[in-house]
Chains A and B, each alone.
Chain A
Amino acid sequence: DSGVTQTPKHLITATGQRVTLRCSPRSGDLSVYWYQQSLDQGLQFLIQYYNGEERAKGNILERFSAQQFPDLHSELNLSSLELGDSALYFCASSVDYNSPLHFGNGTRLTVT
Chain B
Amino acid sequence: GENVEQHPSTLSVQEGDSAVIKCTYSDSASNYFPWYKQELGKGPQLIIDIRSNVGEKKDQRIAVTLNKTAKHFSLHITETQPEDSAVYFCAASPTGYSSASKIIFGSGTRLSIRP
Contact = CB atoms under 8 A, between A and B. Distances in A.
Given A43-B89, A106-B43, A98 B101 contact: no
B103 interface: yes
A93 to B, nearest CB: 10
A16 B71 CA distance: 44
Interface residues of A, number: 25
A97 B101 contact: yes
Contacts of B108: 42
Interface stretch (B22-30, B44-52, B57-65, B76-84): B44-52
Contact of B41 (A43, A100, A105): A105
A33 B101 contact: yes
A43 B38 CA distance: 12
Interface residues of B, number: 23
A87 interface: no
A66 interface: no
B101 A45 contact: yes
Interface string A52-91: 0001101000000000000000000000000000000010
Interface string A21-64: 00000000001010000000011010010000001101000000
B101 A103 contact: no
Given A100-B34, A105-B41, A105-B42, A48 B98 contact: yes
B43 A104 contact: yes
Contact of A103 (B41, B43, B98): B43
Interface of A: 2, 4, 6, 31, 33, 42-43, 45, 48, 55-56, 58, 90, 92, 94, 97-106
